[in-house]
Structure 1
């Protein structure tokens, strides 16, 4: 991964976290890692735990953010969410359950990034 790609990813995750906070979510954790992978953002949406995958692309990229989550990635996110719950959530399951959201961030040449939040889009 190039430095430019890493910077774009950080930019997208920051934009996504701001978007979630502005929408009333409580961000619990960012960039949680284990041997099996990484969760970009874990947040509470009321009484629902939202595990959020962030995909960032430039305005004129070849692939849209939604195309970057295939069946294998979706399966890995479900397993990571289960592992996060087992290791980090020290309470009964949240009353609203757990869902996996996709946040698509598109960075344009000018202005703020566009963030499209797709609740429950994965899994």
Structure 2
């Protein structure tokens, strides 16, 4: 695994733990893949399904992780959410489907910082 892959994996591991521990969500799936792409984390938040995109960056990199989801990526995440639901019978949960972004900022020294934005798309 290269450095970028290791950073991504580290960020996803941190994000999954943070969603479960701090946000009280139940992680249903990680790295779910289909022909159209991949969902980093699928979680349950009460009666809602949450599609989580995780972006990890080393502090000082070009772009802050929370700026990494534009309109094209948001549309792709919506399509992936539909596909995930379709693969499970197509029923929309009572709380609906939400798309969240979890940004992980890793400094040169010290603990990583996790930021969570709900309903980004």
> What is the CA–CA distance in structure 1 between the aligned matches of 2:100 and 2:108, rounded to whole Å?
26
Q: Distance in 1 between matches of 2:91 and 2:77?
A: 21
Structure 2: runs of 5 or more not aligned: none
Residue 91 of structure 1, CA deviation = 7.1
Where does residue 48 of structure 1 map in the other structure? 48
- Specify the alignment match of 1:114 in structure 2: 113
Q: CA deviation at 1:16?
A: 0.3
> 1:110 and 1:95 mapped to 2: Cα distance?
43
Q: Offset at 1:41?
A: 0.1
| Distance (Å, rounded) in 1 between the aligned partners of 2:56 and 2:91 | 33
Aligned twin of 2:61:
61
TM norm structure 1: 0.92
Task: State the Cα RMSD in Å.
Answer: 1.3
Please name the residue that 1:3 is paired with: 2
SS at match of 1:14: helix
TM-score under structure 2 normalisation? 0.94
Displacement over 3 Å in runs of 4+: none
